[in-house]
Structure 1
Amino acid sequence: MKNGKMNDKILLVSSLVDPAGSLIHEEIRRILYENPVLQEQYQHRQFDERLIYIEPSSLTTDADLIIFLSRHASKEPRSVLTVHVTGNFGNAVFGGNPGTLTPAATDMMHAILNRLAKEVPEGYEVTYEATHHGPTSLSIPSCFVEMGSTEREWKDRNAATAIARAVIEAEPEGVISLVGFGGTHYAQRQTEITLTTRGGFGHIMPTRDLVYLNQAMFDEMVSSSGAEAIYIDRKSVTRDDIERIEEYASKRDILIVGQSDLQNMIYISLSDYRHIKRLTEESLAGSGITIHGKIQGSDLTPITIPSDLLFEATKTDPEEFTAGIKSLPIIHLSGKGIAFYPTFITNQENALRITNELIHLCVSILHRNCICRFDGDCLIITKEKFDPGKAASLGIPPGPLFGRLMAGEVVLHEGREITPSMVKRMTEKKICIPGWGT
């Protein structure tokens, strides 16, 4: 759920029977002792039992969120630092209640995971885990932060210090709250998204638990995570399950986003992005979008430049065109094998300026690579092209010699030197650009 740390009170919970959680807690206390100004923000509680079996009533607190400090255990040993929220999609095998989810500290998990990625000791990996185990039915947002998964890692003070620093230094900011579907217990795709975008996950339902998914559980995942959108790891989920999730999302009226969508949302809010997606569908249904510059989501309008001008410029030097639009406050549309459609989207106040800048960029690319002139409002592009007919008239057979001549090489054929200019012809193309004539 939406939670920050600026003024939040945080309850740190560990178990005396857990060597890893106790060591992490010890390191946090040490850091706080060295930084007294931070101490009032934290409350501390240690239990004599395993954390997964704690009753919610024993966690009564005036804190804003709870962070459980714990060991991580696995049937397949690995050196790992993890974060996750608790809950049971199905049976309560390891504490808590069946079919019950806990409010997720979504923003805090995003911040902690990113700090862990910076602090992680050599040999460890950092990852989300899918939602699992107790305690459940908590009233305030929480998360587990763990290290494992063997006794060697549980006693590793360097790993404990890394977690302690991550917990204390984590500062949630601008997180887009998500729930995730699909993947394995160690949520690789969701972790990658959180480490590269503003997208942060609350509850994550792995592929194995999709059997428990219905509309009620979907809604509970969304509300318990404070989710603004959902993400589906489509490569790990069947077509039938994808359609089922899409149906639940439609009934909930919540947006489904992919990794590329989240990468687009560097400077804009999710609500603005939804507006952009709607406008994109109206302008060119089914197209993909790439957002450049610091475009704002309101007061957007489509603009169009001559399609033949864009085609010639991007065919001549696609890298220069791509670099040229990178800093412009525009959205470019693509799809169906077309890298750039001639329709772009920008803010209304920038529409005329951006249209002119796009045209100027295209014309500049063509001027540098071709012979160009204006005839009224029309750009005349003159190009030299290889002429197979001329080559054949000189007795040159199709094949390697054609390729060498096209590459600008002089070739020798039947004792005669053939230059590229001897097999070229001049072509002209006229592109009309209203208002751009001399």
Structure 2
Amino acid sequence: MTVPHEPIAPPVPDHRGLWREPGFPAFWLGQGLSQLGAQFAAIAMPIVAVTMLHATDAQMGFLHAAETAAFLLVGLPAGAWLDRMRKRRVMIAADLVRVVAVATIPLLWIAGMLEIWHLFVVGAVVGVATVFFDVGYQSFVPVLVRDEHVGPANGALEATAQTMRLGGPAVAGGLLAVLSAPLLLAANALGFLLSALSLLLVRDREQVRPKHERQHLVREIGEGLRFVARTDFLVRIVGTTALTNLGSTIAMTLSPILILRILGLDPAVYGLLLTLGALGGLAGSLLATRIARRIGEGPALSISTLVFCGSAALLPLAAMLPGAAVPLLVAFEVLLGFGVLVYNIVQVTARQRICPKPLLGRMNASIRFVVWGVMPIGALVSGWLGTVLGTVPAIWIGTVVAILGALPLLLSPYARMRQLPTRPTERPVAAA
């Protein structure tokens, strides 16, 4: 890494120009509709598991592990494969796989054949497709829009996602009064179908590397891993994200049991809690670039990390103070959503900016291999801890791990930088 230089304020992005980018409006619309359907699934799956199929702590651990195992098992080769293919086509195929998989749950329920292991299988299949879609998604934005619009594009997509997370749970909670939870998953399948259709309308400028420029798959995977390992900023981001994901997975895997069974809240209230919590995420997605511009990218990362890590303690506190459970859960969701969205938009934009375009898929896959790969491990640990110690002690353990996860970033020079690195060769320079 070379020369320190005086950090400069990032340029003010032209948000109007973003919407004139060919293909971005269709891409944005499709992803918004997909996110709306996904909110129905976020409520329906745990309700089906906990209230209809009477899942135990261990079974909830198995379910969440199945949903996230693909990032550990196929995350690395997925990135290398994506760098060899047109990312838009891969995302369309992934969407169609998810349509078929999710649609099987309401069909099995209507036939009277739905069992808990069906959720495990569907979760695993959707997880594999999601690996390819998500790695492609993060790598596709810099291909679809010009460099100066990457940050605003990430913000617009996340703002829309948070808007859907805001309205989706409330609509789902209302529908639960007249529909069974498995039927809500049909809306999730429809959302994936609309996402695929929107991607068919998008035209991009991506050029796939010719075959003669490619190396062996293992060597190309190694390039992505080495790029991350040699870039100090990415190492810090991976450390913080992985530890906080591990802790939050341990806690959140058992949160449906805590909310629906131990606290005895109605599924409609559960949906309302998620809706109110999405307000924080919406605010974070709308304000992330402004906050980073006002106080600096490094301080924005630091403050958002403290917010979402500190808020984790409110979840187990709700079990200890049942009379204040609902306001504590609302505060937990709002602060968590706000902190995570600011953190994600700032660090993902920095990752996209720091990485050469031919390495984007492998860089994102390498990072997700670690930061999402800990999630199935955390889910299995959560189920085991819940079985041995009880649901609430297990959630407390996850909370402590999540809070400690803030340290790799907070103890680094990046926590004070006005502008994060724009090249992997730059040494961190704190703002004056």
Instruction: Quickly name the TM-score band, shorter chain normalised.
Output: under 0.3
The normalised TM-score by structure 1 is 0.20
TM-score by length of 2: 0.20
| Structure (1/2) with the larger strand percentage | 1
Structure with bigger gyration radius: 1
